[in-house]
Structure 1
Amino acid sequence: MQPLSGQDYVIVSRRFISRPNSASQQENDMTVDVVPTVIYSSMMGVVALAIIQACNKPKHKQTYYLLGLLVLMLTHIIGELYIYSGAYQYAPAIAGFQLPLRMLLGPALYFYAYMAMSSDSTLSVKSYSMALLGPMVVIVAMIPFMFMISGEQKLALANPATRDPELWKIAQFTCLFTAITFIAFTFAYLTATLRLHAQHRRQLMDKFSAIEHRSMDWLRVVLILWGLVWFIYTVNYAATFLGVNWFVLDAFLPVFELSVLLSFTYLALNQSTLSSTEKDNSKETQKRRALLPKDTMRQIAAQLTVAMSEKTLFKDEDLSLNRLATEISVSENYISETLSQELNTNFFQFVNSFRINEAKKLLTDTNLPVTTIVYEVGYKSKSTFNAAFKKIEGVTPSAYRASHLLEIQPES
């Protein structure tokens, strides 16, 4: 998803606001903006290649929605190139053609995330209707600019000496309205996508002891980066209409946008399709949930402790709620309710607490390397182990061992 909503109008607006001092300066104002043109040309190539790769991926709904998102990105980039390259001079009548389609970027990202993380593979008519609301609002707002102002008049607006004051007001309104609407609409979907991801992560923590390859945490990072770009763009856009031109941001934003785009396309194309058990089905779980007596939950809690401490099931790096339920002959729902209401935790935290306790013993009682301890206690990678250890103990495994160095010195 691309954050520079209304950037084409911002560029034109800057040329409107800055009165040329001479004919030569006016001519220079109509030249190609080389750096942004090169950057957006690169972005167009990146997205085109991503579309080709997506077409070769297994045909899942997740892939189809990713393709739709990539096509919308490509439309946005073409619109940016239309302005930065100076092509708008030759066909000013179609300026802003991509703005209504750009409003679909937020919904498209949300739909892609929904298909990737939810077990429900269908979207309601209401969801699609809400997605189309943004483009429809922008189309209505753009009617005066698109159909009441000719191409020649649009070009005339670029020069204060030839611009019509009434048409200039229409252009200003169109610029500001479409930008503000895009930002508000897209941030709403950005927030919804972040909530969807948080819900997905909670669902995984209720089912699995290892979630790093299932949680799609990269998506959350990319969403936050896009939000940051949109925030910077908003400040820069508002400053432009106040007569403040931050040319450093003009160069920085496209580069930042390219970086985020490269990250997203690479990670999305390499994201494996999650199984139905790995996707969020919290509604179904809610329907099956039962209320257990306190005594029953205490008995189940005791069984869970035995399974972890005596049978050391936590050492299984792929331990799941389903496997544990089979091991102690208790339903998954009963275990989840016991963990939540009796032990005030979830499956992920419960299993990892035993892993960290075992790691602490090995760090203080043995000379085993940390890299060996990682796999000994059930983790798949050192980075995951370090993060979990520091979250619980407040220090890294190496720092913890160093603080207990005297306890692990061999006896003389």
Structure 2
Amino acid sequence: MNLPLALFLIASAVLALNSTISSVLPDYYALYTAFAFPVLFLLSPSLWFYVEGLTADSPWQLHHKQLGHYVLLAPALLISVMIIFLPKDIHNAIFILDEEVNDPFVSTLLLGILIMMILWLIQCAYTLLKIVRRLNQYRKKLKDIYSNHDKKELNWMNWLLFISVSVWLSSLVTVFSSSLFDHALFNSNTEMSLSVLLIWCITHFGLQQKPAFTDLDDGDIQDMSKEHDNPSNDTHSPTKKYQRSALGQTQSARIAIKINSAMEQDKLYLDSNLSLQKLSKHLNISPNYISQTLNETLSVSFFDFVNQWRIEAAKPKILANNSTVLDIALEVGFNARSSFYKAFKQTTGQTPSEFRKGHANS
């Protein structure tokens, strides 16, 4: 997945150079615009493939069948060739001075650019929706597999998407505002700052992030992956979600007893790295059966189930008030103070300090 990440970073960097090239190297600006236009159409598919690889259940690779996502690159290259053949004075009139040029070739070129920009906007919107949907499915799957996912939620991706949309929209608004009102709402420095921020964010976070599911054994979550990735499945309805499962109610009830026993007697929740796979191996029960039991019989995800046990273990420690909140969080299996606060608030409706004060007064 490093290839689409590299393509996205390179494309962003090239587009960020627009104001610099026009002011510092004006003689090369015509060549730059011809080169930068098709680069614009690398952004959306490259970002999508990076997210797809980052959230994949198994090692991800770019296949030739996926290259269809770059279909807009072909007509963009054709327009790029047309831009190259423009005389310098006409190029300056169109792209720098924003003057009207009465020429059939120029009119065809401008119409082509307009159509491609509309298609690019549609592609951006479609890609954004796909990424949001993919991330939602990914985060639901995390809660079914891991008891702690502080470094796996990809919350930084939300900011990345926000910055990406801001960069793209600011560029678009600049074009239209300069054409309609003879001045730009966003100057070149603003666009450059947003672009640099975008590149820094995805470089800083993207190069550190690793796919969450690559540490699982092959086949352990294959069935679960199909359930999450199949749009026809109603993930809010456990009955439909597991309708093909052979697990019966009696067997599910026995598994529920074993799961609770593993938590109460073996205190597996104290393991901060506890996962569905680890619990499956401990009980010698299929991970899919455990997930189905949790969702159908106990009406809770694996993540919430384990954290409920951790919160119950933390309550007497909070009331004792002999340790800091961070120490208590780490003792009962959380990886961070923030995740403990969030889980405690969700479970009890109070913060740890509010819980302690409430019981002190009672």
Q: For the structure 1 residues 198 and 152, does the alpha-carbon distance in structure 2 shift closer, same or farther, using more than 3 Å as the test?
A: same
Q: For the structure 1 residues 113 and 140, does the alpha-carbon distance in structure 2 shift closer, same or farther, using more than 3 Å as the test?
A: same
Contact 1:194 1:223 in 2 (8 A): no
Could you say which residue in structure 2 is the equivalent of 1:36? none
Give me the whole-angstrom Cα distance separating, in 2, the residues matched to 1:80 and 1:192: 31
Could you say which residue in structure 1 is the equivalent of 2:125? 187
Q: For the structure 1 residues 174 and 133, does the alpha-carbon distance in structure 2 shift closer, same or farther, using more than 3 Å as the test?
A: same
Give me the whole-angstrom Cα distance separating, in 2, the residues matched to 1:172 and 1:166: 10
Contact 1:76 1:102 in 2 (8 A): yes
Could you say which residue in structure 1 is the equivalent of 2:269? 314
Q: For the structure 1 residues 343 and 238, does the alpha-carbon distance in structure 2 shift closer, same or farther, using more than 3 Å as the test?
A: farther
Letter in 2 for 1:81: T
Contact 2:330 2:336 in 1 (8 A): yes
What SS does structure 2 have at the residue aligned with 1:104?
helix
Could you say which residue in structure 1 is the equivalent of 2:8? 69
Letter in 2 for 1:76: L
Contact 1:100 1:138 in 2 (8 A): yes
Contact 2:55 2:135 in 1 (8 A): yes
Identify unmatched segments of 5+ residues in structure 1. Answer: 1-61, 408-412
161-170 or 195-204, which moves further after superposition?
161-170
What SS does structure 2 have at the residue aligned with 1:230?
helix
Give me the whole-angstrom Cα distance separating, in 2, the residues matched to 1:66 and 1:344: 38
Could you say which residue in structure 2 is the equivalent of 1:18? none
Give me the whole-angstrom Cα distance separating, in 1, the residues matched to 2:11 and 2:113: 20
How far residue 110 of structure 1 moved from its aligned partner, in angstroms, is 1.8
336-345 or 228-237, which moves further after superposition?
228-237
Matched, 1:155 2:92: yes
Deviations 1:270-308 (A, max 9, x none): 224656245998654366973311111111112212222
Could you say which residue in structure 2 is the equivalent of 1:298? 253
What SS does structure 1 have at the residue aligned with 2:71?
helix
What SS does structure 1 have at the residue aligned with 2:34?
coil
Give me the whole-angstrom Cα distance separating, in 1, the residues matched to 2:129 and 2:113: 24
Q: For the structure 1 residues 195 and 390, does the alpha-carbon distance in structure 2 shift closer, same or farther, using more than 3 Å as the test?
A: same
Matched, 1:229 2:167: yes
Q: For the structure 1 residues 319 and 283, does the alpha-carbon distance in structure 2 shift closer, same or farther, using more than 3 Å as the test?
A: closer
Give 1:81-96 correspondences, 5 Å limit. 81-85=20-24, 87-90=25-28, 92=30, 95-96=33-34
Coordinate RMSD, CA, aligned: 3.2
Letter in 2 for 1:155: N
TM-score w.r.t. length of structure 1: 0.72
Letter in 1 for 2:144: D
Aligned-pair identity in percent equals 24
Could you say which residue in structure 2 is the equivalent of 1:285? 224
Give me the whole-angstrom Cα distance separating, in 1, the residues matched to 2:321 and 2:28: 75
Contact 1:199 1:280 in 2 (8 A): no
Give me the whole-angstrom Cα distance separating, in 2, the residues matched to 1:138 and 1:328: 57
Count of residue pairs the alignment pairs up: 343
Give 1:104-115 correspondences, 5 Å limit. 104-115=42-53
1:372 to 310, 316, 327: 327
205-214 or 274-283, which moves further after superposition?
274-283
Could you say which residue in structure 1 is the equivalent of 2:144? 206
Contact 2:16 2:195 in 1 (8 A): no
Deviations 1:239-276 (A, max 9, x none): 33321634455433322332232122111222246562
What SS does structure 1 have at the residue aligned with 2:35?
coil
How far residue 210 of structure 1 moved from its aligned partner, in angstroms, is 0.9
Deviations 1:116-137 (A, max 9, x none): 33115234433211x2212123
Letter in 1 for 2:328: I
Deviations 1:72-106 (A, max 9, x none): 33333345533343x34455366332211220121
Matched, 1:382 2:337: yes
Deviations 1:151-206 (A, max 9, x none): 22222445588843766645653553343332222332233233333322222222
Give 1:129-168 correspondences, 5 Å limit. 129=68, 131-140=69-78, 145-147=83-85, 149-157=86-94, 163-164=101-102
Matched, 1:218 2:190: no
How far residue 353 of structure 1 moved from its aligned partner, in angstroms, is 1.6
Letter in 1 for 2:260: T
How far residue 334 of structure 1 moved from its aligned partner, in angstroms, is 0.9
Give me the whole-angstrom Cα distance separating, in 2, the residues matched to 1:160 and 1:73: 24
Give me the whole-angstrom Cα distance separating, in 2, the residues matched to 1:182 and 1:272: 29
Q: For the structure 1 residues 191 and 360, does the alpha-carbon distance in structure 2 shift closer, same or farther, using more than 3 Å as the test?
A: same
Q: For the structure 1 residues 185 and 205, does the alpha-carbon distance in structure 2 shift closer, same or farther, using more than 3 Å as the test?
A: same
136-145 or 257-266, which moves further after superposition?
136-145
Identify unmatched segments of 5+ residues in structure 2. Answer: 228-243
